[in-house]
């Protein structure tokens, strides 16, 4: 004769509970992974934009300090220290002998081109402002 315990329940997880949990995880996991991927992409783009802005500011200041309009037209890279970034500068003559220099730093990220552009202003030496 088998003894029966009418007041006690067996503890454990049933097959139905396990399957329900797996279904919920299967629904939630892709959404969570997509959120993580978007966060990582946003962080990477933000880092690149900050670095590009810093590089553009430094290069533009370097060119403006020399006060030579001929230097305000060209392009290049930042060497081995920043191999993924390229720069290009153009100058436009404005009123009263003032020059507007536009420095653009660009980079590739996930097969797409991004860039940051900064403007600077310069009076060449010997210009008289009236």
Whether 2 is covered by a domain: the verdict is no
Cross-strand pairs, 114: 107
Whether 112 is covered by a domain: the verdict is yes
- pLDDT tens per residue, range 21-65: 999 999 999 999 999 999 999 999 999 999 999 999 999 998 888
Whether 68 is covered by a domain: the verdict is yes
Cross-strand pairs, 118: 103
Whether 116 is covered by a domain: the verdict is yes
Q: How many domains does the chain have?
A: 1
Whether 100 is covered by a domain: the verdict is yes
Task: Count Cβ neighbours within 10 Å for each residue of 62-98 and write b for 16 or more, e otherwise.
Answer: ebbeeeebeebeeeeebeeebeebbbebebeeeeeee
Check: pTM over 0.85? Answer yes or no.
no
- Mean of all residue pLDDT scores within the chain: 86
Whether 6 is covered by a domain: the verdict is no
Structural domain containing residue 104: 15-122
């Amino acid at each position: 004769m088998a003894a029966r315990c009418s007041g006690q329940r067996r503890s454990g997880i049933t097959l139905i509970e396990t399957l329900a949990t797996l279904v919920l995880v299967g629904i939630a996991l892709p959404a969570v992974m997509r959120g993580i991927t978007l966060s990582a992409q946003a962080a990477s783009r933000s880092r690149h934009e900050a670095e590009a802005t810093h590089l553009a500011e430094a290069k533009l200041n370097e060119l403006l300090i020399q006060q030579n309009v001929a230097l305000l037209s060209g392009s290049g890279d930042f060497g081995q220290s920043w191999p993924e970034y390229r720069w290009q500068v153009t100058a436009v003559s404005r009123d009263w002998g003032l020059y507007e220099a536009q420095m653009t730093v660009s980079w590739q990220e996930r097969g797409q081109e991004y860039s940051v552009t900064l403007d600077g202003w310069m009076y060449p030496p010997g210009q008289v402002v009236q």
